[in-house]
Structure 1
Amino acid sequence: MVALIATAFVQTGFAQHDHATHQTQSSALLPLYYNIKDALVVGNASLAAAKAGEFVEALKNADAKIVTGANRDGLLEHSGKIAGSKDLKSQREHFAGLSTDMIALAKGSKLSTEPVYQMYCPMKKTSWLSSEKTVKNPYYGSAMLTCGKVVETIK
């Protein structure tokens, strides 16, 4: 009887640890995404490529139960293309796809204890995520730094 009770407690402990690990893996993706965004805001293609490479590695190590199917494929495709390019225009194009998939992930999973702001660029007609309400547009950088607005707060 004692063994049965001990087994139940151990299983519960593993389940809680497992859930915490899943949460940590998925929430680690958001700061990495922000790093890519910030590199694009300042127009640094080399830094964007390096940060996208870090995102790819984190995503490959993330549990498939958290980031699933087409969403995972899209995140890998777009972050991989940003990582493999030194062309800022191309990186910004793929950032739009990466952002679409990250927005879906953020709305389906709790990625942060802090609010996540969904921004929208009317010139590019696409969105991105930010940790702050201040608009810093990754699609146009210094050319149109403040173009955009907060359209949703994801909590």
Structure 2
Amino acid sequence: MKYLVSIWVAFVIIACGDNKQSGESQLGRETASGISNYSDTFNRAFKASLTAYYDLKDAFIEENINKVDTAAVLLSKTISAIPFNEIGIDSVKSAAGILSESLQAELIGLKGETLLEEKRKAFQLLTEQMTALIKKVQYNKEIIYYQFCPMAMDDNGAAWLSASSEIKNPYLPTTMLECGEVKDTINKIQQ
């Protein structure tokens, strides 16, 4: 009897593993072939969120609190407009929803801060969440540069995303605008 139960458990594990691998390999195969996993509507909405994120980063470079707040509101609106319901894999859809809610909460916190340095701390967390979201949904319609400055945030280091490989540091724009390097490219465009 124990032998039959062991065989049955092994069969279930293998079967579940095969389904998971097949879903993941299918997702990867579509991306590798240059075909987006999502509709044009999804891709436009996601692109709008990235553009809003880049505008927020640029507002930090300008050190303009009003522009930071305006960009944060726009980013919040664009994230809420992404049709995450298009995501076919339930675990990815669930994770994207959680990351979207975390981004919204961080944006509320960022907007509530009165000091630019405190807003930058929220931006650092926002960047981590945005990076996780991009990777989770496997957005592949443009090259996104993951940049890092080890001197930012009191020498603890901080990252940001950019549409360009050119370094413009949103954490130290007046003292070290060009401090940093491209650490990675996220979800390169597939040919």
SS of residue matched to 1:129: strand
1:39 aligns with 59
1:71 aligns with 99
Deviation at 1:137, TM superposition (A): 0.7
Query: 1:91 and 1:111 mapped to 2: Cα distance?
Result: 27
Match of 2:45 among 25, 47, 63: 25
1:148 aligns with 180
1:97 aligns with 125
The count of corresponding residues between Structure 1 and Structure 2 is: 138
Query: 1:110 and 1:25 mapped to 2: Cα distance?
Result: 14
SS of residue matched to 1:119: strand
Matches within 5 A, 1:78-93: 78-93=106-121
Deviation at 1:152, TM superposition (A): 0.5
TM-score by length of 2: 0.65
Retained in 1: the 8 A contact 2:43–2:141? Answer: no
Q: Mind listing any 5+ residue stretches in structure 2 that lack a counterpart?
A: 1-37, 88-92
Matches within 5 A, 1:46-65: 46-65=66-85
Retained in 2: the 8 A contact 1:49–1:86? Answer: no
Deviation at 1:62, TM superposition (A): 2.1
Q: Percent identity?
A: 30
SS of residue matched to 2:184: strand
SS of residue matched to 1:143: coil
Retained in 2: the 8 A contact 1:51–1:83? Answer: no
Query: 1:37 and 1:100 mapped to 2: Cα distance?
Result: 13
2:178 is the counterpart of 1:136: no
- Farther-moved stretch of structure 1 (100-109 vs 24-33): 100-109
Deviation at 1:141, TM superposition (A): 1.6
Q: Mind listing any 5+ residue stretches in structure 1 that lack a counterpart?
A: 1-17
2:144 aligns with 116
Give, as a single letter, the amino acid of the residue that structure 2 aligns with 1:37: K
Question: C-alpha offsets along residues 22-77 of structure 1, whole Å, 9 cap, x if unaligned?
Answer: 22212211000000000001111110110100111122222233672331122111
Instruction: Report which of the two structures shows the higher radius of gyration computed on alpha carbons.
Output: 2
Matches within 5 A, 1:4-15: none
- Farther-moved stretch of structure 1 (73-82 vs 43-52): 73-82
Query: 1:38 and 1:112 mapped to 2: Cα distance?
Result: 23
